[in-house]
């Protein structure tokens, strides 16, 4: 299947072409703004499906709106019609198509060209009036405020916000690409939409992106596993320079070993690790509510427990070969001793962030 992608070197085009190849569509015909009339004609004549993403939204002259949006679309459908082709066409339009401005008018005219082509030939056609699309590889200081915010904040540059409360509708590039890929398995023709879309404000987006940057100092991450936060976090990371791919976290060492905090969350606790030299015991305290999970990843150790009221005792011997989680239980004092001959390294998750003003950590050494 030969798939033509116009605007292949643009933001959506690059992401879509990569996804097409990943899905097994390797016979791509890529057209960008450097293509001449004959190259375009050959590409259109040989395509079995057309993703028409190319367009103009930041022209040097207003006349380019009509040439780059309606004009290019008309060229494509004229070639198809002249060759009696009924190739399916997807058109990247804009929410501006309903507004009275030159850009919107050029997009509306492009839509009409597609509808006329479909009426004449019976071809399948899909029109997307995209709102603000954001994601990796979008050019900052161009047509996406999200790209500009991510680039500037990652680069320690100021951002300008005229109205933080201004409402915006966003769609994420991965969701756009998934939607466009679904067209190859056939959908009903006409206007289409991308889901999910996110209703938010300019100020909320800026605050969230700033929090991603700040998390390297606070070690506290936002909830970035789903929804808008996940998509914005991925987008922000894509604007980091290679020298920003790593960062240091604080560690605290003494005669026993090292303790290092890695990551904190607002509602799911924190991750740390510690080391202990041979023969060293760490801990000797209990909690009323706090819970911890330990995983020995190097060495061997014994975990000791003692009920603070009943005095019951229990021991668990663990080596790094077992991949066994040892869990602390409220009301039981506990410690851990390195029983091996090498450095002990233990991963630690606590269900809450340590609060020095309310540590819920009461010293009670085990006998």
Per-residue model confidence as pLDDT tens digits over 8-24: 999 999 999 999 999 99
Cα–Cα distance, 174 to 43 (Å, whole number) = 26
- 64 pLDDT higher than 80: no
Report the distance separating Cα 257 and Cα 344, nearest Å: 9
* 346 backbone φψ class: left, alpha, beta (φ>0; ψ -120 to 50): beta
**Structural domains of the chain ordered from first start:** 3-130 (3.40.50.720), 133-173+198-247 (3.40.50.720), 251-363 (2.60.120.10)
Give the model's confidence band at 33: pLDDT under 50 very low, under 70 low, under 90 confident, else very high: confident
Residue 191 backbone dihedrals phi, psi, to 5 degrees: -70, 140
% pLDDT > 90, the chain: 91
Q: What is the predicted pLDDT for the residue at 35?
A: 87
pTM of the entire structure?
0.92
Q: How confident is the model at residue 182 (pLDDT cuts 50, 70, 90)?
A: very high
Neighbours of 306 (CB within 10 A): 20
Q: Residue 69 above 90 pLDDT? A: no
- Per-residue pLDDT tens for 76-129? 999 999 999 999 999 999 999 999 888 899 999 999 999 999 999 999 999 999
Give the model confidence (pLDDT) of 278-327 as tens digits: 999 999 999 999 999 999 999 999 999 999 999 999 999 999 999 999 99
User: Residue 224's CB: how many other CB atoms inside 10 A?
Assistant: 20
Query: Which phi and psi angles does 12 have, rounded to 5°?
Result: -70, -40
Which of 103, 126, 233, 286 is labelled catalytic?
Answer: 103
Mean pLDDT for the chain overall? 96
Q: Identify whether 103 is a catalytic site residue.
A: yes
Q: Residue 187: what pLDDT?
A: 86
The pLDDT value given to residue 147 = 98
Whole-angstrom distance, CA of residue 64 vs CA of residue 132: 21
Residue 148's pLDDT is 98
């Amino acid at each position: 299947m030969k798939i033509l992608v116009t605007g292949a070197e643009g933001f959506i085009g690059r992401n879509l072409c990569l996804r097409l190849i990943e899905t097994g569509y390797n016979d791509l015909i890529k057209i960008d703004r450097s293509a001449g009339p004959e190259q375009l004609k050959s590409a259109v004549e040989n395509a079995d499906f057309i993703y028409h993403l190319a367009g103009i939204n930041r022209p040097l002259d207003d006349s380019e709106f009509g040439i780059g949006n309606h004009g290019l679309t008309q060229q494509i459908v004229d070639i198809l019609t002249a060759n009696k082709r009924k190739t399916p066409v997807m058109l990247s339009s804009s929410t501006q198509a309903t507004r009275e401005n030159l850009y919107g008018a050029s997009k509306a005219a492009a839509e009409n060209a597609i509808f006329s082509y479909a009426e004449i030939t019976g071809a399948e056609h899909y029109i997307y009036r995209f709102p603000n699309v954001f994601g990796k590889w979008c050019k900052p200081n161009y047509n996406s405020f999200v790209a500009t915010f991510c680039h500037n904040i990652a680069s320690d540059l100021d951002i300008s916000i005229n109205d933080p409360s201004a409402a915006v509708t966003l769609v994420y590039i991965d969701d756009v690409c998934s939607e466009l890929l679904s067209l190859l398995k056939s959908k009903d023709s006409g206007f289409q939409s991308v889901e999910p879309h996110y209703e938010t404000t300019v100020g909320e987006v800026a605050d969230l992106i700033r929090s991603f940057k700040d998390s390297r100092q606070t070690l506290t991450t936002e909830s970035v596993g789903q929804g808008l936060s996940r998509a914005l976090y991925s987008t922000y990371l894509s604007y980091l320079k290679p020298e920003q791919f790593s960062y240091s976290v604080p560690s605290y060492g003494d005669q026993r070993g090292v303790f290092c905090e890695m990551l904190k969350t607002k509602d799911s606790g924190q991750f740390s690790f510690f080391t202990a030299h041979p023969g060293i015991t760490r801990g000797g305290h209990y909690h009323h509510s706090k819970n911890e999970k330990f995983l020995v990843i190097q060495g061997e150790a014994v975990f000791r427990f003692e009920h603070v009221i009943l005095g019951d005792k229990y021991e668990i011997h663990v080596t790094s070969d077992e991949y066994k989680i040892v869990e602390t239980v409220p009301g039981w004092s506990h410690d851990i001793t390195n029983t091996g001959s090498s450095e002990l390294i233990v991963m630690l998750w606590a269900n809450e962030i340590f609060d020095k003003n309310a540590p819920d950590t009461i010293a009670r050494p085990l006998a």
